[in-house]
Amino acid sequence: YFSSPVTIANTSTVKFNPGTYVFRQGLTISDGANVTFGAGTYTILGAMTIQSTSTVTGEDVGFYFYGPDASNNGSNSGLRITGDATVNLSAPMSGTMAGMLVWYNRNSFNNNGNVWMISSTNVRKMTGAIYIPKDKINFIPTKPIADQSPWTAIVAGSITVGGSAALTLNSNYN
C-alpha cells in the first residue's frame, strides 16, 4: 500500500513480483528506469504511467486494474505509455488471466468512459488482450504499435488512432 506517489527513475532497476499493489497516487516509471514484471497476475488499484526513456518488460503477465484510482478521466488513467518508453509485455498462457494482458474491472466505481493512452514511440510488443469495455484508448505515437506481437486484441468503448500511428492487430493465436 502506497499512499504517496511512487516514482521509479534515474536508471533504477526494479523487479516486481506478482501480487496486489495499491498506488493511491499512481506509479510512474521514467527517466531510464528498467522495470521487469515477473510472470503472474498483478492486481493494481491505482494508475501506472510508463514514460520518458524507461524500459518495461514482462513475459506471462496480466494486469488487473480496478477501483476509482485506476482511472482519472485521462489525466492519470490506468495505463499510460508516453515519451520514448520501451514496452515489451506478453499475457499469461494459462490460469485465470490466460490471454489477458490488461483487464479493467467493468464494474469499478469510476468506470464511466475513462481515457487510456499509448503515445510512446517504442511499444512494439504487447501480446494479449486489452479489455477496457467502457473506456476509451488513444494511440498517438509516431511509430508502429504492437507490430512485433504475434497477436493483440482490444475490447474498448472506443479506439482512437491519431497522428502518424500505425496500430497492428496481428492474429497468430497459436
Q: What percent helix, strand, coil does the chain show, rounded to 5?
A: 0, 55, 45
CB-count burial class (<10 Å; 0-12, 13-18, 19+) for 173? exposed
In 30-74, the DSSP E strands lie at 34-37, 40-50, 55-58, 61-66
Cα R_g (the chain), whole angstroms: 14
Q: Which residue has the cell 475490447?
A: 155
C-alpha–C-alpha distance, residues 164 and 54, integer Å: 22
Per-residue pLDDT in tens (0 to 9) along the chain, 174 residues: 888 889 999 999 999 999 999 887 889 999 999 999 999 999 988 889 999 999 999 999 999 987 665 444 444 458 999 999 999 999 999 999 999 999 987 666 555 567 889 999 899 999 999 999 888 899 998 888 999 999 999 999 899 998 787 889 999 988
How, if at all, do strands 115-118 and 79-81 pair?
A: parallel
Start-to-end CA distance of the chain, whole Å, equals: 38
Q: How far from chain centre, in Å, is Cα 119?
A: 12
C-alpha–C-alpha distance, residues 89 and 168, integer Å: 15
The pLDDT assigned to 115 comes to: 82
